[in-house]
C-alpha cells in the first residue's frame, strides 16, 4: 500500500510543476485540507536535496498564506465554514477551552501547536475565532511553520541518502507510524 504511494510521490516530486503542487497542498492544509504537506515535502527534498531550503521556503510561504485564509475563515466565516471544519475535526465543543488557552498562552499556542501533528488548520481557524492579534498570528505562524519545514529540509539535506535508504527498507513500518501520528493528532484534538 505505501510503496505505490511512495513511488507516486517520488515521481510527482520530479515533475516540473512539483513546487506548485506542494504549495497548493501546503496552502490547503493550513485552512481546510486534512493531508499535511510533508507527504510531498519529504520526497521532493529527497529527489532534489540541493534545493532543500528553496523547497522548504515555498512550503512555509504557502502554509502561512493558507493560514491567513484559515484565520479569515475563523474571523469572518465561523458561523458557516469555520464551525463546520472545527466540528468535522471533533473540536466543536472545545471552543471555550481554546479561548482559555489563547487568553492564557497567546502566541505560544500557535508556536507549539504549529510544530506538532495537530492539524494546523485548527490553530489558524481558532486564532481567527478568538480574534487573536493578526500581525502576531502571521509572525508566529511564519516562525513555527518555517522551523518545522526548514528542520525537515536541513535533516534531509544532511542525512538524505541514509534516510532515503532506511525509508525505502522500512516503508511499511514508517507508513503505519506516520498514519498513527496523524490519527493521534486528531485524537489529541478531540481530547483537548
In the predicted model, what is the mean pLDDT of residues 132-144? Answer: 96
In the predicted model, what is the mean pLDDT of residues 141-164? Answer: 90
Provide the whole-model pTM: 0.81
Residue 15 has pLDDT above 60, yes or no: yes
Range of the domain at 90: 2-191
Separation CA 155–CA 27 (nearest Å): 23
Predicted confidence at residue 59, as pLDDT, reads 96
Determine contact, residues 112/122, Cβ cutoff 8 Å. no
Count the domains in the chain.
1
Amino acid at each position: 500500500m505505501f510503496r505505490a504511494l511512495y513511488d507516486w510521490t517520488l515521481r510527482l516530486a520530479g515533475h516540473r510543476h512539483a513546487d506548485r503542487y506542494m504549495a497548493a497542498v501546503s496552502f490547503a492544509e493550513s485552512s481546510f485540507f486534512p493531508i499535511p504537506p510533508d507527504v510531498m515535502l519529504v520526497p521532493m527534498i529527497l529527489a532534489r536535496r540541493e534545493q532543500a531550503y528553496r523547497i522548504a521556503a515555498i512550503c512555509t510561504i504557502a502554509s502561512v498564506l493558507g493560514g491567513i485564509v484559515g484565520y479569515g475563515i475563523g474571523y469572518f466565516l465561523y458561523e458557516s465554514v469555520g464551525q463546520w471544519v472545527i466540528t468535522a475535526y471533533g473540536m466543536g465543543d472545545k471552543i471555550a477551552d481554546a479561548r482559555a488557552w489563547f487568553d492564557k498562552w497567546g502566541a505560544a499556542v500557535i508556536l507549539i501547536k504549529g510544530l506538532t501533528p495537530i492539524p494546523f488548520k485548527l490553530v489558524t481557524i481558532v486564532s481567527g475565532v478568538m480574534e487573536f492579534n493578526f500581525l502576531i498570528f502571521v509572525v508566529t505562524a511564519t516562525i513555527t511553520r518555517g522551523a518545522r519545514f526548514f528542520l525537515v529540509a536541513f535533516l534531509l539535506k544532511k542525512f538524505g541518502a541514509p534516510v532515503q535508504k532506511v525509508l525505502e527498507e522500512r516503508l511499511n513500518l514508517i507508513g503505519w507510524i506516520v498514519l498513527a501520528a496523524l490519527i493521534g493528532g486528531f485524537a489529541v484534538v478531540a481530547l483537548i
